[in-house]
Amino acid sequence: MSAVYDIDVTTIEGQTQALDKYRGKVLLIVNVASKCGLTKQYEQLEALYESHKQDGLEVLGFPCNQFAGQEPGSEAEIQEFCRATFGVQFPMFSKIDVNGPSRHPLYQVLIEEQPEAVAKQDGKLKALLKEKGLLNGSDNDIMWNFEKFLVSADGHVAARFAPDVEVTGENFDNKLQSLLDKA
């Protein structure tokens, strides 16, 4: 049994929900932010969700304000922004911490099972963050907003992708397809 399913989360509407609800589905878990240079990825995430939800994919968005304060709003403001700007229909959750001593238990498990993210070949994002003094913590910490975890239908963390790896990329798509084919 996977530890992912043992974790409770809080929906963006404030309801406690067990991740066990998603047992048997392929999960894409993403820490998101509304005021980030990568925020446009919401559009790709929603398109992916719409095109693969019937195949067993669930995209789960977890707002986080730990990266340069790029998710300052309330849950209601975040939800309104995501729906109005990008038409987001995939499940969204309350703000959490993904790094540091108050790291949410979900991210404890995700990082333990996949300590390293597959990075984009050019490595520009990591270099930019380092140059601006925004890379903190260990190499296993979440680098920035929009880091992605793929969880197999049996609840095991199958892959982790750096924030600048888009869900439209071949590397991501190949991994997702292999998980959906097994689901």
Read off the pLDDT of residues 56-92 as tens digits, 9 standing for 90 and up. 999 999 999 999 999 999 999 999 999 999 999 999 9
Share above pLDDT 70 across residues of the chain, in percent, rounded to a whole number: 98
Number of H helices, E strands in the chain: 5, 6
d(CA 183, CA 152): 8
d(CA 121, CA 132): 20
Per the residue annotation, which of 12, 19, 36, 109 is the catalytic one? 36
Per-residue pLDDT, averaged over 117-121, amounts to: 83
Q: Is residue 167 predicted with pLDDT exceeding 70? A: yes
CB 19 within 8 A of CB 50: no
Predicted TM-score (pTM) of the model is 0.95
Q: What is the 3-state secondary structure (H, E, C) of 62-109?
A: EECCCCCCCCCCCHHHHHHHHHHHHCCCCCEECCCCCCCCCCCHHHHH
d(CA 120, CA 15): 36
* Torsional sign, CA 170, 171, 176, 179: positive
3-state SS assignment for residue 50: helix
Each residue of 7-62: pLDDT tens digit? 999 999 999 999 999 999 999 999 999 999 999 999 999 999 999 999 999 999 99
Full set of structural domains in the chain with CATH: 3-182 (3.40.30.10)
User: Is residue 36 flagged as an active site residue?
Assistant: yes
